[in-house]
Structure 1
Amino acid sequence: MRALLVVNPAATTTSARTRDVLIHALASEMKLEAVTTEYRGHAHDLGRRAAESGNVDLVVALGGDGTVNEVVNGLLHGGPDPDRLPDLAVVPGGSTNVFARALGLPNDAVEATGALLDALREERTRTVSLGLASGTPGTEDESVPSRWFTFCAGLGFDASVIGRVEQQRERGKRSTHALYLRQVVRQFLGETNRRHG
């Protein structure tokens, strides 16, 4: 089996030592190429390259929900085609790991890697439904690029909060529960002031 491990070095709960252990464990079971993301959107580019190459059987995303989302959107860049796309596996390394938890994976990266290796040995796979969010043709949002999502998509208040969090992360802030909470409060107060202003 040929596999690509996409590693987000900024994943909040994964250390360099943990990454090395995971790489060693996965490489012992398959022909593995491990690539560390270097820029925003790199996981997307790696997923796309894996899908287009036709020589990768499995893509493993080591990171949080954002890394998983980027990889999924890269894999599906040319559209969904289960016969030509590599399988996807997730090893949680972010702060919340909602998708990995929804799949029933342990939140510990080492334990999740063990579960992944067990599933590969037993040839167990799982089909996951996806959604596609896109702009509405003929409206001002039609220029918004379509985006696949694995477990949820938001609009309105929650999308604005995520937008605020992403702006803070671009400025070097770490993704923490406190960061999300601060942005929820700021978004709420900002919307309240606009309604009363």
Structure 2
Amino acid sequence: MKRKIVFIMNPISGTTSKVGIPELIDRTLDKEKFDYEIYMTERPGHASEIAIEAKNAGVDIVVAVGGDGTVNEVARSIVHSHTALGIIPCGSGNGLARHLMIPMNLRKAIEIINVCEIHALDFGIVCGHPFFCTCGMGFDAFVSQKFAEAGKRGPITYVQKVLEEGVRYKPETYELQDENGTNRYKAFLISCANASQYGNNAYIAPQASMRDGLMDVIIMEPFDILEAPQISIDMFNKTLDKSSKIKTFKCKKLHIHRKSPGVIHYDGDPVMAGEDVDIEIQEKGIYMIVNPDANKRLRRPNVLQSAAADLFNEINVVRSDISKQGRHIIALSKVLQRKLNL
């Protein structure tokens, strides 16, 4: 029996046209395995409506065709159900797709759907909002708000906002309570990660896993403008957890108290929240289509030839990202330093 798939496409996510995607799906999807329909979203929240209808109709797979916002909207509508999430990444960050090693090449992403390897993975909840990559507060959320207001997408816009706003942002003091007790921190930002990155290969939690039933909590201590470029480069180099400005631990549930209400974010979407913020992980709460090759790499770390090839590819990707992002980070930092007479 064929599986039923519903593709939910956000025509305005990301920075590229999606005009040719329906034809690409028709040409690439294995029609001996699947019957499919494609729906275009028309307004905020429409992706969620379509996903809920598909889930209630017993559709096997719902595929989010868009960026992290579309992915979150679709995914949160099918948690704790037998309907699986697929992703064709078309956004500006594509954090969840990158963590799952879903190819950025659209044809290859559809081929991953054809293989249809489905796993039960974790997701998080912050103040009642499901998230699948990260949630956070402090500068983390402040920049998400500024980024959402910027209109222009992409990694350079994000880095620009980090450097521009970082000069003026004042760290706060937070009280964190988990299963092991309560601690107070003065922090530039606090991020709770179910997956490893924000998007654009910016790894806030390089060791995070969607399979361990735990979130990685990242506490970034205050730093000055001269340290900002190195912290940003560490993020793209998967070495942020080695920075002296970072404290990190894992937990299943976390309660955070702060002095006043403010903005938080979930998967990059900013929202206002109160002084008290509760975050928890829902273990194996959502089914997702994963990259089977990435899976094999995790299961067979001693296959040296495969590991070496994967490592070589990863080094090339990281080298390219660092080269591109680092040049812009350092250039922007120098401009800010001159303006501040540093």
Please, what TM-score do these two structures have when normalized by structure 2?
0.45
| Counterpart for residue 41 of structure 1 | 45
* Residue among 9, 13, 23 paired with 1:11: 13
Percent pairwise identity = 27
Write out per-residue CA displacement over residues 14-72 of structure 1, whole angstroms, 9 at most, x where no aligned residue.
53113421244337342211111111222122222222x23311101111111111111
In structure 2, the residue matched to 1:140 is none
* 1:7–1:37 contact (8 Å) kept in structure 2: yes
* Offset of residue 187 of structure 1: 2.7
* CA RMSD across the alignment: 2.0
1:127 match = 120
- Select the structure that is richer in helix: 1
Is the 1:46–1:74 Cα contact (8 Å) retained in structure 2? no
- Letter in structure 2 aligned against 1:98: G
CA distance in 2: counterparts of 1:35 and 1:108, whole angstroms: 21
1:1-197 to 2 correspondences below 5 Å: 1-12=3-14, 13=16, 15-26=18-29, 28=31, 29-51=33-55, 53-76=56-79, 80=80, 82=81, 85-117=82-114, 119-120=115-116, 124-134=117-127, 146-168=128-150, 173-192=151-170
How far 1:102 moved relative to its partner?
1.1
Report which of the two has the higher share of strand. Answer: 2
1:175 aligned partner, one-letter code: R
Structure 1 residue 127: Cα displacement: 1.8
Structure possessing the higher radius of gyration over alpha carbons: 2
Structure 1 pair 56–26 and aligned structure 2 pair: CA distance change class (3 A): same
Displacement after TM superposition at 1:163 (Å): 1.5
Assess if the C-alpha contact under 8 Å between 1:60 and 1:89 holds in 2.
yes
Q: Deviations over 1:96-149 (max 9, x none)?
A: 2121121122111111111221x23xxx21221111111xxxxxxxxxxx1111
Offset of residue 5 of structure 1: 0.3
Q: Which amino acid aligns with 1:62?
A: V
Where structure 2 has 5 or more consecutive residues not aligned to the other structure, the ranges are 171-342
Residue 28 of structure 2 contacts residue 107 of structure 2 at CA under 8 Å; is this kept in 1? no
CA contact under 8 A between 1:92 and 1:109: conserved in structure 2?
Answer: yes
What amino acid is the match of 2:167? L
Q: Which runs of 4+ in 1 moved over 6 A?
A: none
Q: TM-score, normalised by structure 1?
A: 0.75
Query: How far apart, CA to CA, are the structure 1 residues paired with 2:45 and 2:75?
Result: 12
